[in-house]
Structure 1
Amino acid sequence: MAIDIYKINPEFREIMPQEIIDLEENATWAEKQDKPRGIKELPQTKELLEEHSLCAGCPEAAALRYVLSALPKPEETVIVNSTGCTSLMFPHIALHTVHSLFGNQNAVASGIKRVLDWRFPNKEKDVVVLAGDGATVDIGLDYTMQSFFRQENITTICFDNEVYANTGGQESGMTPKGQVFKMAPSGKKFEKVKMWELATTSGCHYSLNMTASAPKAVARAVREAITIAREVGPTYINLYTPCILEIGLSANEGLGEMKEQDKDRFDKYKYISPEAEACLAKAKEEGRL
């Protein structure tokens, strides 16, 4: 959306709800903006995601807002999603989105990216995969890793809540050892799969493990990952977004849980290949980051 495009008919302006008027006045996609939109504009903007149907206090909802606010070119971005809690938010997103079969989101994204590059050779078209740990690591691991092997120019963001949350609470490969859920009463028998390390050894030029506790850090990671994916190759972000209901927390405790895990299991593992380092340095020099 841009201010140049979204205009209220003057004949109807006086009967329009205030939120529609605010939307027109505060839209942040316009090229006339003095500087690129970003995380600071998040409270004043509604055009990307105003509402959602997730549980109250769900960290995934906040994380998605951070991700969307950081997209370099939202109007030129396609997000590929898969079955899971995240898929409940996508009907409310004002972006090009594709809902894939459970687990094959990276294969779909690969095809979309290739077609966009062929159809629009002179435009930067970004394709971002956004799926949960079940779709990314369990059911879709083959598709995920094969896209890394092929060096597809896409960014994969895993919303890692460490459980199959929207189907009752089954353990996933990303569940930590010993964790008990409603439908996994005996506890996880082995350690959590370190997908961020697999991404590194599978050809990703940028791999990061972090929580969604710090909006600016998430936004910076998303911008870096997409910039590298455009020019170098596949990138991966593992973003801890806990299911507060499954781990027995209240709606207002999600942020505290993520901050606590910042000090423990999510140590901000970060890998950047030499080619990606050069790409980021050039982007910063040119003012694109």
Structure 2
Amino acid sequence: MSVKIFKINEDLKEFMPQEIVDLEEKATWGNPKRGVMDLPYAKELIEEHSLCAGCPESAAFRYILASLPSPEDTVIVNSTGCTSLVFPHIALHTVHPLFGNQNAVASGIKRVLEWRFPDKPKDVVVIAGDGATIDIGLDCTLQSFFRQEKITTICFDNEVYANTGGQDSGATPRGMEFKMAPGGKQWDKVPMWQLAIDSGCHYVARLTVSSPKKVEQVVKKAIYVAREVGPTYIHLYTPCILEIGLNSDQGLWEMRQRDKERFKFFEYMTDEAKEVIKKKKEEGLL
């Protein structure tokens, strides 16, 4: 793993779109204090990405990518869904496994990295939707928590299978209607953040993507704790504005509304996690 992987072949550089060149030349490698305040000057995600216009997931991706303490030493494991559409458009190590088994694959990658690089931190971060995390992949998700794998899991919760037509998921609130669920959801939303706590995660947070700085702090805390202690989990509300009938410019408004109710900021940490976070604050990294 090296920043050299992200170098464009000099013979091809003149033919590459400027956005691709910017991913190399404007990246903030080698700076553990990097964060969302670098976004106006840095490049983490190309503008011509394949998510819908105004999709909150694109903001979430930018904030997360800008907040990784060591992007050059990070592997992101993703899963099928809207999230998987973005990974060809970033300059990071990514692995795309089968739908739902992203945490199992991430566990293997993390173990190999610890064996191959025993003296250097290598972060493994899972980014997947609610279908992959809570429904189809729930077993693999929880088993990685039970085994105390040192990985960070980030769930992009849009509360629907948005990539396949609008079916309800385990994360859909009771009564919510979608095109392929016209009768409304028949049971309550699965509180995945509580399952993460009960399953052994050392740091857990639930929030929307309406506050970039808060997302940065949560991501950094989760990764630092995962490095030293064990599994961490972040639950991000990234609503599918198309499926819930909003315009492309209303994603931020929707998230701010949910900030006040079912996605009000929630944070949990074990005593071991508190010690890590305290140390990182003293080092000026949080």
Q: Normalising to structure 2: TM-score of the pair?
A: 0.92
* Range with bigger deviation, 216-225 or 263-272: 263-272
Structure 2 residue aligned with 1:171: 168
Letter in 2 for 1:100: P
**Which whole-Å CA distance do the structure 1 matches of 2:170 and 2:89 have between them?**
29
Unaligned runs of 5+ in 1: none
Give the distance between the partners of 2:214 and 2:109, measured in 1 at CA.
28
Match of residue 132, structure 1, among 129, 134, 137 = 129
Q: Distance in 1 between matches of 2:13 and 2:101?
A: 45
Aligned residue identity for 1:271: Y
1:44 is matched with: 41
Q: What is the Cα deviation at residue 38 of structure 1?
A: 1.2
Report the counterpart of residue 155 of structure 2 in structure 1. Answer: 158
Change (3 A) 1:12 1:279: closer
Counterpart pick for 2:57 among 45, 60, 64 = 60
Alignment of 1:191 with 2:180, yes or no, is no
User: Cα distance, 1:15 vs. partner?
Assistant: 9.5
1:286 maps to 2:283: yes
Q: Report the residue type matching 1:117 in the other structure.
A: E
Which whole-Å CA distance do the structure 1 matches of 2:165 and 2:11 have between them? 50
SS of 1:283's partner is: helix
2:230: which partner in 1? 233
Once the two structures are TM-superposed, the CA of residue 170 in structure 1 deviates from its matched residue by 0.3
Cα shift at 1:26: 3.7
Percentage identity across paired residues of the two chains:
69
Number of aligned residue pairs: 286
Is the Cα contact below 8 Å between 1:200 and 1:207 reproduced in 2? yes
Output the CA distance in 1 between the equivalents of 2:132 and 2:24. Answer: 37
CA contact (8 A) 1:129 1:154 kept: yes
- What residue is the counterpart of 2:273 in the other structure? 276
* Contact persistence 1:2–1:29 (CA under 8 A): no
**Shift of the alpha carbon at 1:237?**
0.3
Q: Highest Rg: 1 or 2?
A: 1
1:204 aligns with 2:206: no
- Specify the alignment match of 1:29 in structure 2: 29
Over the aligned positions, Cα root-mean-square deviation in angstroms equals 2.5
Is the CA contact (8 Å cut-off) linking 1:155 and 1:226 kept in structure 2?
A: yes
1:109 aligns to what? Answer: 106
Q: Gaps (5+ residues) in structure 2?
A: none
Alignment deviations for residues 26-78 of structure 1 (CA, whole Å, 9 cap, x no partner)? 432156xxx73210111222255443101111000110110000000000000
For residue 287 of structure 1, report the CA deviation from its aligned partner: 2.2
Cα distance change, pair 252–121 in 1 and its aligned pair in 2 (3 A): same
> What amino acid does structure 1 have at the position aligned with 2:188?
E
Contact 1:3 1:30 in 2 (8 A): no
